[in-house]
Amino acid sequence: MKYLKNVLAVIGALVVIGTLIFAVQSSPEQKEALTQVVNPEKRVADGYQISAIEIPKDLNFAGEPVPMDDADIMERVDREFLVNTYWQSNALLLMKRAHRYFPIIEPILAKNGIPDDFKYLAVAESALIDIASPAGAAGMWHFMKGTGKEYGLEVNANVDERYHIQKSTQAACEYLNRWKKRFGTWTLTAAAYNAGPGGIQKYMRIQKVDDYYDLLLGEETKRYVFRILAIKEILSNPAKYGFEVENDDLYDSVPTFTVEVDTAVTSWADFAKLYEINYKILKRHNPWLREPHLNNASRKKYTIEIPNKGYYKETTEGR
């Protein structure tokens, strides 16, 4: 065994000596290749390029041009394009969800005379998922409780229509149309959606300007419209920004039918079983139902969305 170890040591030494001799006599290209063999290291750049982004020269929000000749504006635009392009996982998820929800949002915006660009405001607000913000804003349009009620949404422990995509989109349209009349531009109206109309009015009064791009605003609202612009451009032209997305990769809407309910419901789980789905699937399609039951003392008529039979795996009794 000791003899074998000595032999292996001699062979190893000869290999090292031979490598050194070769390195001395080699060309620069051969030396580089040898370095990678003897001392290989991971090269992050291999197969992956990070570069500055060419910003479109005709950016606009709802048809209102962005002042691209302003250096401050360009830097703010650039920031949002970089952040939203190179946060690839998030951008890809937004594309997938948009394919499911934009067909619901777009016709409601059009019916109310709201520019199509405002669908990207919903993306900026909630990433098209039914979540509540730390401040208590809820649903895809992130309505606060009081504002939701002001615009006709039912909000209580049983039912919270801020999570109802059709009704909350309609409420958002009414809000936007109201404040467009006050502010005059869609860009300022979008900013007011984020900061509140009172906040924007205060900034305009103090700073004596009436253009979003001239206002000095808080950090979130300062970035808000630029983030919407970046999301709009990336989702509209994914391949231009390096995203290879096939139609099969996107999230499709689920075919459904509706059922009307005008009584109390003691158990939504039992109700779901009537349609061969479970409580989880019922809530997936009706996230505005906030409790496992419905009181409905007023006998109000609610429309429940049910997925077509066979779309989901059928549930079994007791599962």
Q: pLDDT tens digits, residue range 103-152?
A: 999 999 999 999 999 999 999 999 999 888 888 999 999 999 999 999 99
250: DSSP letter: S
293 vs 26: which has the higher pLDDT? 293
Split at pLDDT 50, 70, 90, the class of 204 is very high
**pLDDT beyond 70 at 310:** yes
Split at pLDDT 50, 70, 90, the class of 49 is confident
Residue 65, SS3 per DSSP: strand
- Residue 18: its H or E element: helix 2-25
**pLDDT beyond 60 at 16:** no
What is the predicted pLDDT for the residue at 21?
45
Split at pLDDT 50, 70, 90, the class of 48 is low
**pLDDT beyond 70 at 26:** no
User: Model's pTM, two decimal places?
Assistant: 0.83
What residue has token string 């979130």?
Answer: 220
Question: How big is the chain by its Cα radius of gyration, in Å?
Answer: 29
60: DSSP letter: E
Lowest mean pLDDT among 43-52, 170-179, 282-291: 43-52
The tokens for 288 are 């505005």
The count of residues in the chain is 319
Distance CA 169, CA 116 (A): 12
